[in-house]
Amino acid sequence: MNNDDPFFYRVPEDWDVTKVGAYCQKPEYGFTESAIADEIGPKFLRITDITENGVNWDTVPYCRCPQDIFPKYELKENDILFARIGATTGKSYIAKNPPQAVFASYLIRLRPLNDLVPDFLYYFFNSDGYWDQVNANKNNNLKGGVNSSTLADIRFPLPPKKEQQKIAAVLYKIQKAIEIQESIIEKTRELKKSTLHYVFTHGLLGEKLKETEIGPIPESWDLGTIEDLCLLRNESCNPITCDSRVYVGLEHIESGKFLLRSHGSPKEVRSTKNKFNQYDILYGKLRPYLDKVVVAEVDGICSTDIIVLKLKGNTDAFFLIGLLHSDRFIQYANQTTRGVNHPRTSWTSLKDFTAPIPNSKEQKEVAHVFQTIEKKIENHTAKKTALQDLFKTMLNKLMTGEIRVKDLDIDISGVSA
């Protein structure tokens, strides 16, 4: 084991611990220019174009870059870029099949040399060993940024090249599995959105449509208002004296979800709050949180920025939730908001929204469709989370040699040579 480095005191004896500067070309700062929308010159990659999901090159702007300067800043395959300032300081991105592009001045570029597998180094830049060093530098640097010198001095573990490739291949496969789950989630969300629109104009039974003031709806459906489906629960509770164990703020409600999946404790709050019961609807009344609408599965108290609605008659909770998530309702709710700093709507404004209403049996059938789609999203979100946890665990164990893959037969075709 190598005991000379405080960050990698447990790497295997056949590994080395070295500095980034020894295995990469000198770090380079990007091009200073203004971005333009017109297709004049190369693409101009900025910090803000790099997201958790990589780079969407279709949205990256262009810039004017003289031909004699372009080669210096040209982005090439396996270039690794770093945000050197701002909220994402230290975050990295590896270029794969980039278009003709240059990188902006708030980014730093690294080019690995031939003895180093670029994908291995990039994965290291996501590990705890890397972030420990970056954060230590931030604490010692008044500006809290990353510069070329500190980047070149970053220490990293160096296995033999074949093992670098195998480590990168394992992480690449997990990353691809995460991307598959993300794609399924996104497509299911699109399905959910289109289903919401279709159901509230066509129903589920294929019956003849009739024209109404809000457009076509199934012939057997009625037109009513939100107030025909639910009522305002206007009950307050002092968190100190009430017996509730659950507190819900807007931060606990996830946009676009149907069910409440997290909550806080009443001990966290002091002022009087709204009270809700099991199966009530919690509706975020602040813009831009008008798509925060969930069914409560327990009793509790909630922020006064949340409207509490209790179901009326045979109204199905998930049918109502779907209606409150529909584009037409959200647009209506946005138009009813008032105020400058914290625009918000109210029950008085929302209760008269014109709604298509089927009988209770079809409401339940519609609700079942919504719940099925929501369950699919939740299942794939859980799989994605599990894979992300696996990636993080494997990343740190592989980068310290706690898990060895050198003797395993691993397909390395997806990673750089």
3-state secondary structure 106-173: CEEEECECCCCCHHHHHHHCCCHHHHHHHHHHHHHCCCCCCCHHHHHCCEEEECCHHHHHHHHHHHHH
Match 């190369």 to its residue by tokens. 42
Residue 382 to residues 15, 210, 262, 292, 378: CA-CA distances in angstroms? 36, 41, 15, 20, 6
Q: Is the pLDDT of residue 143 over 60?
A: no
Q: Which residues pair with 405 in a beta bridge?
A: none
Taking residues 401-405, report their average pLDDT: 94
In terms of Cα–Cα distance, which of 310, 401, 413, 315 is closest to 361?
315
Dist CA 156 CA 388 (whole Å)? 22
Dist CA 271 CA 25 (whole Å)? 58
Q: Is the pLDDT of residue 398 over 50?
A: yes
Match 């709710």 to its residue by tokens. 333
* N-to-C CA span, the chain: 27
Taking residues 363-371, report their average pLDDT: 95
Pairing verdict, β 155-158 and 107-110: unpaired
Q: What is the pLDDT of residue 262?
A: 85
pLDDT tens sequence across 234-281: 998 887 777 778 899 999 999 988 888 888 888 778 788 899 999 999
Q: What is the pLDDT of residue 9?
A: 56
In terms of Cα–Cα distance, which of 269, 247, 270, 245 is closest to 260?
247
Which residues, other chains included, contact 78 with Cβ-Cβ below 8 Å and sequence gap of 6+?
Answer: 94, 95, 96, 111, 112, 118, 119, 416
Kindly tell me the burial class for residue 302, based on how many C-beta atoms sit within 10 Å of its own C-beta (0-12, 13-18, 19 or more). Answer: buried
Q: What is the pLDDT of residue 3?
A: 46
Q: What is the pLDDT of residue 5?
A: 54
Angle ∠(109,114,117) on CA atoms, nearest 5? 75
Structural domains of the chain, with CATH: 16-158 (3.90.220.20), 222-357 (3.90.220.20)
**Crossing angle of the two packed helices 161-202 and 360-399, in degrees rounded to 10:** 170
- More reliable by pLDDT, 274 or 86: 274
Mean per-residue pLDDT over the chain, rounded? 91
Q: Is the pLDDT of residue 2 over 50?
A: no
Return the exposure string of 363-382: e unless at least 16 CB atoms fall within 10 Å of the residue's CB, then b: bebbbebbeebbebbbebbe
Dist CA 380 CA 401 (whole Å)? 31
The first and second tokens of residue 228, run together, are 């025909």
Cα-flanking dihedrals φ and ψ of residue 371, to 5°?
-65, -35
Dist CA 87 CA 106 (whole Å)? 12
Q: What is the pLDDT of residue 416?
A: 79
Lowest mean per-residue pLDDT among 4-8, 53-57, 216-220, 236-240: 4-8
Q: DSSP string of 16-43?
A: EEEEHHHHBPPPEE-B----BSS--SSE
